[in-house]
Chain A
Amino acid sequence: MTRFWTLVRRDLTLAVREGGAIGTALGFFLLVVALMPLGLGPDLNLLARIASGILWIALLLSALLSLGRIFESDSDDGALEVMATSSLPLELVAAAKATAHWISTGIPLALLAPMLGLLLNLDIAAYPALIATMLAGTPAVSFIGAIGAALTLKARRGGLLLALVVLPLYIPTLIFGISAVSAVTLQTGAFVSSFLILIALSLGSLVLGPLAAAAALRIQMQ
């Protein structure tokens, strides 16, 4: 387990020292959200109603941007092969990298979301729900995303392909994330059930993601 956390810490250190990646994701998040009112018109009532959807979609897109780097740089310089030959199972290597991605991308995006909610006139009462659902849902984004990142590692045109492969798999997370937030803004009272399913999705992807990602990595390293 120490080796697992060492790997997580290494990836986080790299993410911080390389810089750029986190900032790019946050900047993209801000820009997508800022473009929406320009496209939809400045009607504050309309924006308040669809704010949760916009925030969640923008979060998925910005997380998608950074998925590529989960395995890419380590695969390029051969570090991934060293990790594969270490005594840590490849599944745990994949899990550590996805965890690092969640901490370095998912959490900052989730914490930035309330500020962007201001731009969209999101009800202040929904802020705790917004942060909670995003923190609970982003592990699914990172762990399912790790599958896509592993599958498209050696592919040409990796970026677009990654989106095509991963976005359909994000549909459940998106649906339950949005419905949990709008349950608070529209007061339909379905918050707890959606929130619990969202957590279930994250826990499920915690298992499925590393298994599938490790299988894909192993195939490519043969």
Chain B
Amino acid sequence: MQTLTQRLANPTRFMQLSGTLLPIVAGAASVAILYGLYLAFFVSPADYQQGETVRIMYIHVPSAWLAMMAYALVALSSFGLLVFRHPLADVSAKAAVPIGAAFTFLALFTGSLWGKPMWGTYWVWDARLTSVLVLFFLYLGLMALRSSLEDENLAAKLTAVLALVGVTLLPIIKFSVDWWNTLHQPSTGMTSTVDPSMRWPLLVMAIGFSLLFFALHMKAMRNEVLRRRVKALRLADVARRDAVAAE
């Protein structure tokens, strides 16, 4: 009995399965996000302290969650590549990194927009902001390392090593940044309880964003598989022409 991951090791099977799943996931993502946006903008109340700016939260919080989840997926895929040599693990890791970086940037950007009216500045060196910024740097490092190596196989494995080093050091970085900040200023008190009238839209947006992430990830993986096939076909074509010319 093969497990699902073993069955998906065959790229053709992956392409078939993802081809049927992608429209469903993408459709569900758009429905959930549209409904979530409707709830966020028209149904949920303005906060008694934050006013209308609280609506930024409905984009900001799901982005921040996905920023972390994407890194977990990158680390998991890297593990799958180095330990099990799963053929699609690298495709998955490669596809997830830019998407994760984009969500991290979105979380930082929306947080900064929210910070200006609330804290009076676009950026504070809050512990949480700092650790998300470091996460963004790690994503940039992963992308830079991959793009600087020509040999794709080598790039895949080295990036996987860096992703695993990053995932072991992330908790330490998070801890040290928390410690560093509490030394300088007290907590900003962002962790207050959330009212149900705001929790529900937030949940819908979180589901929508997760579905969006999976749709983007699946599409990016499909593109990567196709790109590799095109490359293999081109190489085969060149080899064939060489053989013809040699005759």
Q: Which residues of A contact B (CB under 8 A)?
A: 147, 151-152, 154-158, 161, 164-165, 167-169, 171-172, 175-176, 179, 188, 190, 197, 201, 204, 208, 212, 215-216, 219-220
Contact = CB atoms under 8 A, between A and B. Distances in A.
B87 to A, nearest CB: 17
5 tightest A-B CB contacts, nearest first: A172-B176, A155-B148, A168-B137, A219-B157, A165-B141
B232 interface: no
A169 B177 CA distance: 12
A154 B154 contact: yes
Given A175-B179, A201-B172, A220-B154, A168 B165 contact: no
A172 B162 contact: no
Q: Which of A151, A156, A169 has the largest number of chain B CB atoms within 10 A?
A: A169
A172 B158 contact: no
A172 B173 CA distance: 6
Interface string B177-192: 1011001000000000
A180 B177 CA distance: 15
Contacts of B158: 151, 216, 219-220
A212 B168 CA distance: 11
A165 to B, nearest CB: 4
Q: How large is the interface on B (under 10, 10 to 19, 20 to 34, 35 or more residues)?
A: 20 to 34
A90 B60 CA distance: 45
Interface of B: 82, 134, 137-138, 140-141, 144-145, 148-151, 154, 157-158, 161-162, 164-166, 168-169, 172-173, 175-177, 179-180, 183
Contacts of B144: 161, 164-165
B161 A212 contact: yes
A142 to B, nearest CB: 15
Contacts of A215: 82, 161
A221 to B, nearest CB: 10
Contacts of A168: 134, 137-138, 141, 173
A208 B165 contact: yes
A164 B161 contact: no
B173 A171 contact: yes
11 contacts: A147-B165, A151-B162, A154-B154, A155-B149, A156-B149, A164-B141, A165-B144, A171-B134, A179-B183, A204-B172, A219-B158
A60 B175 CA distance: 20
Given A154-B149, A156-B148, A165-B141, A172 B157 contact: no
| Most central of A165, A179, A216, A219 by chain B CB within 10 Å | A165
A164 B154 contact: no
A35 B230 CA distance: 52
Contacts of B172: 172, 201, 204
A192 B172 CA distance: 19
